[in-house]
Every structure is written in C-alpha cells, then in structure tokens.
C-alpha cells in the first residue's frame, strides 16, 4: 500500500503534468482556430460534435458548454453515426470531430460521409498528420507529449487538452455574439447559478412579514413586533419614512445595561440612518451589502424610498445564493 506522501506526490505530479501540457498547447493555436470560429459563427446551422471513447465523453461536455453559452450544439456518437445517427446532421451544420489519434476506424468511415454531404468539418486532434487531421477543413491541434498516466496509456492529459480547446471555442464564440449575463440567465433559470442572475430583492421580501414600529413606541412593543414578525429586526418609521432600525441584538445589548425599560422608546435604542437597498436590486447585491457591513438583515425600499420589506441572510441561504 502506498504511503500518504507518495499519494500526494502522485497527485501533484499529475496536476503539474497536465497544467504544463495545457500551457504549451497555447502555442499551437493558429489561424485554423480563427477560421474555425468564423465558420461556426457564420453558419446558419448547429454544431454537431462527435467522437468515440473518452473523446465522446469530452464531446458531451463541450456540447453542454456551447448550448449554455448561446451556440446550439448536438452530440453524435461516432459509432452510432455510421449506424443511423448520421441523420442528425443537417445541411447547414458544422461538424466537430474529436480524436486523439485521428485514425480510429469509426472516424475513417464517418468523415468521408460528412464531407460528401458538404458539411464543414473541424478536427480537434493530437495528430495533425492523421486521417482526420489531413481531411478536415480546419485542424485544432491538441498535441500533448505524454499522458499523466504513468503507463502513458489512459487518456488523461489528452482529454484535458480537448476539453480546454472546447472551452476556448465556446468563450470566443460567446464574445463574438456579445453574450451577456442576462443571456446566461435565460439559459440557466434553475439552481443557484440562475438565481444569482435573475432573482431580485422584491422576490425575497414578498413572503416576509413587514415589521415596523413608531419611534415613540415602547420597548415592550418593539420586542413583541420583532418576536411576532420573526425576522430578528424591525424598521422604525415616522411619517412613512424609515428613520431607524432595531435588531434583536440591540435589545440584548440594552438589557445587559439595564432591565428598567419602562421609560425607553424605540428612538432611544434604534440605529439611525440604516442601510437600505432598492427592492428592484438583484439578490446578489443584497448579499454583497450584508457581507460588506457584516450584518444579517437589510431594509428594502421602493422607488419613493418607502419601506418595502426586510431581506434576511436566511432568505439568501434558502434560495441557494449564499
């Protein structure tokens, strides 16, 4: 059994080997890459991405990245393509073939068929002199000196290189298209990622209570309001305007100094000029405000600066934003 020091050393060696290979791959990017990008960008069809073995697994990830960044893409397994799935390829589609060797039997059968249909083919291969490399319209070189596998057999560094090339394609395409965070939100409506891009303060506060007291209300009433509304805070209002804020922490600090609270009112312990946020602001902005001031609640206001509600850190946690 390997000792811990050997395990850690192997892990570091793998990471360093792959990072070195990716760094060197940057030098292989040439005019073929630019022409491939323009081909995809100007195409009226989709991008069909195909491969076999581990390259097929990488293809599915690149397809997912393309689709989520505004470039319609479809995965087609190279083996299935020559047994009927070639019907997925439409007239205006661009085909990306991924293969480390570029000489697999399936690719040798598939490539001429695609070329006969008149579709442009982009090769992602570690062997530019291969069948795939010499017959594709554009060749993206993902050559790596060796795999991270100690036997130089298991696809490791080579598949990482393919993945990085796919990311480079996706990023360049989204940049050309002017793909924005709003576009990203359109394709990612679910999960925490999407919520960071579309969820607003108004969405967070709509189901919350609206705790508020007058500045002349008694401390007893303040305590009841905070307890009943269950947000650990209340706004202090005068003439429909927020003039202060009282948290359960303010109550505790007051009680450590005195228990004679009969003559105290809200204005005696409230924090003046509390931080607020517009109800139309993004939820992520509310999180940033809470983090910047090391607080757990912030008051929301509307266009007229009227009190609209409370955003609590728990709201952000519940939505997966924090």
Binding residue numbers for Zn(2+): 77
Instruction: Could you list the residues known to form a binding site, using ranges.
Output: 77
Cβ neighbours of residue 285 closer than 8 Å, sequence gap 6 or more:
201, 277
How many Å apart are CA 11 and CA 20, to the nearest integer?
14
Q: Copy the structure tokens of residue 196.
A: 């960071």
Residues 6+ apart with CB under 8 A from 43: 92, 93, 94, 120
- CA atoms 26, 157, 79, 62: torsion sign: negative
CA 233, CA 38: separation in Å to the nearest integer? 56
- Among residues 97, 56, 93, 49, the alpha carbon closest in space to that of 74 is found at 49
In angstroms, rounded to a whole number, what is the distance separating the alpha carbons of residues 95 and 87? Answer: 13
């Amino acid at each position: 059994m390997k000792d811990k020091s050997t395990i850690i050393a192997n892990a570091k060696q793998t990471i360093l080997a792959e990072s070195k290979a990716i760094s060197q791959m940057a030098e292989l990017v040439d005019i073929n890459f630019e022409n491939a990008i323009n081909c995809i960008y100007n195409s009226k069809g989709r991008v069909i991405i195909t491969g076999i073995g581990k390259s097929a697994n990488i293809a599915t990830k690149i397809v997912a990245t393309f689709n989520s960044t505004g470039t319609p893409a479809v995965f087609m397994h190279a083996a299935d393509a020559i047994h009927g799935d070639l019907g997925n390829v439409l007239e205006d589609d661009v085909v990306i073939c991924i293969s480390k060797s570029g000489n697999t039997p399936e690719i040798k059968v598939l490539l001429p068929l695609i070329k006969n249909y008149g579709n442009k083919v982009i090769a992602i291969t570690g062997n530019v002199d291969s069948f795939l490399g010499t017959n594709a319209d554009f060749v993206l070189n993902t050559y790596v000196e060796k795999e991270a596998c100690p036997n130089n057999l298991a696809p490791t560094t080579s598949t990482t290189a393919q993945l990085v090339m796919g990311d480079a394609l996706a990023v360049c395409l989204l940049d050309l298209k002017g793909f924005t965070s709003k576009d990203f939100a359109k394709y990612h409506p679910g999960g925490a990622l999407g919520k960071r891009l579309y969820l607003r303060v108004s969405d967070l506060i709509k189901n919350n209570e609206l705790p508020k007291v007058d500045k002349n209300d008694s401390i007893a009433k303040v305590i009841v309001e905070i307890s009943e509304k269950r947000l650990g805070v209340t706004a202090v209002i005068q003439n429909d305007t927020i003039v202060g804020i009282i948290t359960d922490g303010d109550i505790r600090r007051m009680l450590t100094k005195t228990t004679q609270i009969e003559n105290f009112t809200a204005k005696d312990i409230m924090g003046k000029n509390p931080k607020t946020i517009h109800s139309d602001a993004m939820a992520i902005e509310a999180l940033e405000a809470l983090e910047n001031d090391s607080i757990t609640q912030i008051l929301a206001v509307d266009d007229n600066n009227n009190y609209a509600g409370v955003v609590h850190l728990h709201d952000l946690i519940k939505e997966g934003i924090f």
